[in-house]
Structure 1
């Protein structure tokens, strides 16, 4: 194992445990209504939004999460780059990975197909992915809007709005 892997795994594990615990708390706290797993839908959409927010906030060009030449004017220090890498591992890979769940979505689709029909199951699957993508986009838009400085996100062309 490399030293980087040894330092990264505890962050991912801690974030993943916290994310999975938060998802379980959401499931236990949201009363089940109908045949749709609303708590899982909320977790997946909220997690997608948070991941978009983190992506924009930590990975914007020239911002604290980007790899850039050392000592470049207006560029974050090595300490900030390292801190943001750790935040991405803890909150992005760990927490969001544990909070959201593709496997539960897949099982939910199969259960819904059996109880309510294939059309409802397909609508649930497509709707969850579509709304999750919109939530990620909203998180990126908010992250870009709240980031200090006139930086553009690498996935957006100059002048294009998210």
Structure 2
């Protein structure tokens, strides 16, 4: 039965990723992948909150399912590689550094928020 929770969360997370990515990216005239950056950082924040305060079934639905469908390491990797290959090495390096630092910071902040709300 747990796998149904994961599937249900992913069914919401994947379209949410696509729609958010398109909405964010359409507002920026830059080669930097703002849409992927935003969904990954927001996903880290949500996962931090959920991990700190939610019971197991909710962690499966929202953590594994929703956040798993929302965030995307493969797209982050591809977009970073594309930036480097296209000669935008500064953007590629900034994407890696900002994604790691902001993602970890968001996960930490989410966990702290989850603990405070508990």
- TM-score, normalised to structure 1, is 0.68
- Give the unaligned 5+ runs of structure 2: none
Runs ≥4 residues deviating over 4 A: none
1:123 CA drift (Å): 2.3
SS in 1 for 2:18: helix
Aligned counterpart, 2:35: 39
Query: When you count helix as a share of all residues, which structure comes out higher?
Result: 2
- With 26-35 and 133-142 compared, the bigger mean Cα shift is at 26-35
Alpha-carbon distance between aligned partners in 2 of 1:128 and 1:12, rounded to the nearest angstrom: 25
| Bigger Rg, which one | 1
Aligned counterpart, 2:91: 120
1:114 CA drift (Å): 1.9
State how many pairs are aligned.
116
Aligned counterpart, 2:3: 9
1:134 CA drift (Å): 0.2
1:85 CA drift (Å): 1.4
- TM-score, normalised to structure 2, is 0.91
Aligned counterpart, 1:51: 47
Aligned to 1:28, which of 22, 27, 30?
Answer: 22
Cα root mean square deviation, aligned = 1.2
Alpha-carbon distance between aligned partners in 1 of 2:76 and 2:96, rounded to the nearest angstrom: 7
Aligned to 2:102, which of 131, 134, 137?
Answer: 131
Alpha-carbon distance between aligned partners in 2 of 1:100 and 1:126, rounded to the nearest angstrom: 17
- Give the unaligned 5+ runs of structure 1: 1-6, 59-83, 148-162
- With 126-135 and 109-118 compared, the bigger mean Cα shift is at 109-118
